[in-house]
Amino acid sequence: MLAYTIRRLLMLIPVLFGMTLIVFSIVHLIPGNPAQVILGETATQDAIQELEQSMGLNESFFTQYGFYLADLLQGDLGSSLRTKSEISHEILPRIAATFELTFFAMLFAIIIGINAGIISAWKQNSWLDFAAMIFALVGVSMPVFWLALMEQWVFAQELGWLPSSGRQPSTGQIEPITHFYVIDAILHWDFDRLVQVLSHLVLPAVALGTIPMAIIARMTRSSMLEVMKSDYIRTVRAKGSGQFLVIYKHALRNATIPVLTVIGLQTGVLLGGAILTETIFAWPGVGRYVYEGINYRDYPVIQSGILVIAFLFVMINLIVDLLYAFIDPRIKY
Amino acid sequence: MSDTILELNNLHTHFFTDSGEIPAVDGVSFHVNKGEVVGVVGESGCGKSVTSLSVMQLVPSPPGRIVSGEINFKGENLAFASEKRMRQIRGNEIAMIFQEPMTSLDPLYSIGNQLVEAIRMHNKSSKKEARLKAIEMLDLVGIPRASEVVDEFPHQLSGGMRQRVMIAMAMACDPELLIADEPTTALDVTIQAQILDLMRDLNKEKDTGILLITHDLGVVAEMCDRVVVMYAGQVVEEGTVREILKDPKHPYTKGLIRSLPNLHEKEQKLYSIPGTVPKVTMNSVGCRFAPRCEYAFDRCFSENPALYETEDNRYARCFLYDNFEEQEVATHVGTDSRS
Helices A286-295, A87-122: axis angle to 10 degrees equals 130
Does residue A58 sit in the same domain as residue A138?
no
| Mutation choice for A interface testing from B50, B54, B55, B108 by most A CBs within 10 A | B108
Instruction: Determine what percent of chain B is predicted with pLDDT higher than 90.
Output: 1
Which residue in chain A has the smallest CA separation from B118? A239
Q: Is B239 exposed, middle or buried (0-12, 13-18, 19+ CB in 10 A)?
A: buried
pLDDT of A43 above 60: yes
Does residue A104 sit in the same domain as residue A226?
yes
Which residue in chain B has the smallest CA separation from A241? B87
Q: Under an 8 A CB cutoff, do A240 and B109 touch?
A: no
Instruction: Determine what percent of chain A is predicted with pLDDT higher than 90.
Output: 10
DSSP B268: -
| Better-scored residue on pLDDT, A123 or A31 | A123
B102-117: average pLDDT: 89
Per-residue confidence at A171, pLDDT binned at 50, 70, 90? Answer: low
pLDDT of B216 above 60: yes
Tens digit of each residue's pLDDT (9 = 90 or more) over A261-287: 999 988 888 887 678 888 888 888 888
Does residue A244 sit in the same domain as residue A272?
yes
Query: Number of residue pairs across A and B with CB atoms under 8 Å?
Result: 69
Tens digit of each residue's pLDDT (9 = 90 or more) over A115-165: 999 988 888 888 888 888 888 888 888 888 888 888 888 887 788 787 877
B275-289: average pLDDT: 78
Q: Which domain holds residue A296?
A: 92-332
Per-residue confidence at B323, pLDDT binned at 50, 70, 90? Answer: low
User: Is position A323 within any domain?
Assistant: yes
Secondary structure class of A319 (helix, strand, coil):
helix
Does residue A53 sit in the same domain as residue A101?
no
- The lowest-confidence range among A103-112, B205-214, B325-334 is B325-334
Mark which residues 169-208 of B lie under 8 Å from A by CB: 169
Whether chain A has a CB inside 8 Å of the CB on B90: the answer is: yes
pLDDT in the model for residue B331 = 43
Secondary structure class of B98 (helix, strand, coil):
coil
pLDDT of B338 above 50: no
CA distance B124 to chain A (A): 14
Does residue A114 sit in the same domain as residue A261?
yes
pLDDT of A18 above 50: yes
Minimal CA–CA distance to A61: which of A26, A109, A16? A26
User: Is position A275 within any domain?
Assistant: yes
Helix (H) or strand (E) holding B213: strand B209-214
Return mean pLDDT, chain B: 82
Percent helix / strand / coil, chain A, rounded to 5:
75, 0, 25
Q: Under an 8 A CB cutoff, do B90 and A229 touch?
A: no
User: Is position B106 within any domain?
Assistant: yes
Q: Under an 8 A CB cutoff, do B87 and A242 touch?
A: yes
Minimal CA–CA distance to A268: which of A72, A105, A148? A105
pLDDT of A27 above 80: no
pLDDT of B219 above 90: no
Per-residue confidence at A309, pLDDT binned at 50, 70, 90? Answer: confident
B81 contacts in chain A (CB < 8 Å): none
Return mean pLDDT, chain A: 84
- CATH number of the structural domain spanning residue A136: 1.10.3720.10
pLDDT of A12 above 60: yes
Tens digit of each residue's pLDDT (9 = 90 or more) over B149-190: 888 989 888 888 888 888 888 888 888 889 988 888 777 888
User: Is position A81 within any domain?
Assistant: no
Which residue in chain B has the smallest CA separation from A245? B117
- The lowest-confidence range among B202-216, B246-260, B313-327 is B313-327
Per-residue confidence at B329, pLDDT binned at 50, 70, 90? Answer: very low
B90-106: average pLDDT: 86
pLDDT in the model for residue B202 = 84
Q: Under an 8 A CB cutoff, do B121 and A238 touch?
A: no
The total number of structural domains that make up chain B: 1
Q: What contacts A278, CB < 8 A, 6 or more positions away?
A: A98, A101, A204, A284, A285, A287, A288
CA A59/CA A123 separation, integer angstroms: 65
Does residue A117 sit in the same domain as residue A72?
no
Does residue A55 sit in the same domain as residue A99?
no
Does residue A309 sit in the same domain as residue A253?
yes
CA distance A329 to chain B (A): 6
User: Is position B123 within any domain?
Assistant: yes
CA distance B315 to chain A (A): 32
Whether chain A has a CB inside 8 Å of the CB on B107: the answer is: yes
Minimal CA–CA distance to B95: which of B217, B208, B239, B201? B208
Q: Under an 8 A CB cutoff, do B105 and A238 touch?
A: no
CA distance B7 to chain A (A): 20
Does residue A190 sit in the same domain as residue A321?
yes
Tens digit of each residue's pLDDT (9 = 90 or more) over B50-96: 888 888 888 887 788 888 888 888 888 888 888 888 888 888 888 88
Rounded alpha-carbon distances, angstroms, from residue B188 to A2, A317, B93, B161: 37, 42, 30, 12
CA distance A232 to chain B (A): 4
B281-300: average pLDDT: 79
What is the pTM assigned to this prediction?
Answer: 0.79
User: Is position A137 within any domain?
Assistant: yes
Does residue A249 sit in the same domain as residue A324?
yes
CA B328/CA A328 separation, integer angstroms: 58
CA B169/CA B192 separation, integer angstroms: 18
Does residue A48 sit in the same domain as residue A128?
no
Mark which residues 233-262 of B lie under 8 Å from A by CB: none
pLDDT of B334 above 80: no
Mark which residues 261-320 of B lie under 8 Å from A by CB: none
Among the partner residues A238, A241, A330, nearest to B96 by beta-carbon distance: A238
Q: Is B250 exposed, middle or buried (0-12, 13-18, 19+ CB in 10 A)?
A: buried
Which residue in chain B has the smallest CA separation from A257? B108
The alpha carbon of A176 is separated from its chain's Cα centroid by a whole number of angstroms, namely 21
Q: Is A236 exposed, middle or buried (0-12, 13-18, 19+ CB in 10 A)?
A: buried
Q: Under an 8 A CB cutoff, do A240 and B90 touch?
A: yes
Whether chain A has a CB inside 8 Å of the CB on B130: the answer is: no
CA A136/CA B59 separation, integer angstroms: 31
Q: Is A8 exposed, middle or buried (0-12, 13-18, 19+ CB in 10 A)?
A: middle
Which residue in chain A has the smallest CA separation from B175? A239
The alpha carbon of B104 is separated from its chain's Cα centroid by a whole number of angstroms, namely 17
Q: Under an 8 A CB cutoff, do A232 and B166 touch?
A: no
Q: Under an 8 A CB cutoff, do B108 and A329 touch?
A: yes
pLDDT of A294 above 50: yes
pLDDT of B330 above 50: no
B58 contacts in chain A (CB < 8 Å): 234, 237-238
User: Is position A82 within any domain?
Assistant: no
Contact B26, B288 (CB under 8 A): no
- The lowest-confidence range among A188-192, B4-8, B53-57, B82-86 is A188-192
pLDDT in the model for residue A333 = 52
pLDDT of B2 above 70: no
| Mutation choice for B interface testing from A123, A129, A228, A232 by most B CBs within 10 A | A232
User: Is position B122 within any domain?
Assistant: yes
The alpha carbons of chain A give a radius of gyration, in whole angstroms, of 24
Q: Under an 8 A CB cutoff, do A238 and B88 touch?
A: no
B112-135 in b/e burial notation, b at 16+ Cβ within 10 A? bbbbbbbbbbbeeeeeeebbbbbb
Q: Under an 8 A CB cutoff, do B121 and A254 touch?
A: no
Q: Which domain holds residue B162?
A: 102-174
Secondary structure class of A136 (helix, strand, coil):
helix
Mark which residues 55-74 of B lie under 8 Å from A by CB: 56, 58, 60
CA A225/CA A251 separation, integer angstroms: 9
Minimal CA–CA distance to B83: which of A231, A233, A240, A235? A240
User: Is position A15 within any domain?
Assistant: no
CA B334/CA B51 separation, integer angstroms: 14
The total number of structural domains that make up chain A: 2
User: Is position B152 within any domain?
Assistant: yes
Tens digit of each residue's pLDDT (9 = 90 or more) over A68-96: 888 888 888 877 777 878 888 888 888 88
Per-residue confidence at A110, pLDDT binned at 50, 70, 90? Answer: very high
User: Is position B303 within any domain?
Assistant: no
Task: Put the strands of the sheet holding B20-33 in their side by side order.
Answer: B20-33, B4-17, B64-73, B76-77
User: Is position B42 within any domain?
Assistant: no
pLDDT in the model for residue A273 = 65
Does residue A96 sit in the same domain as residue A72?
no
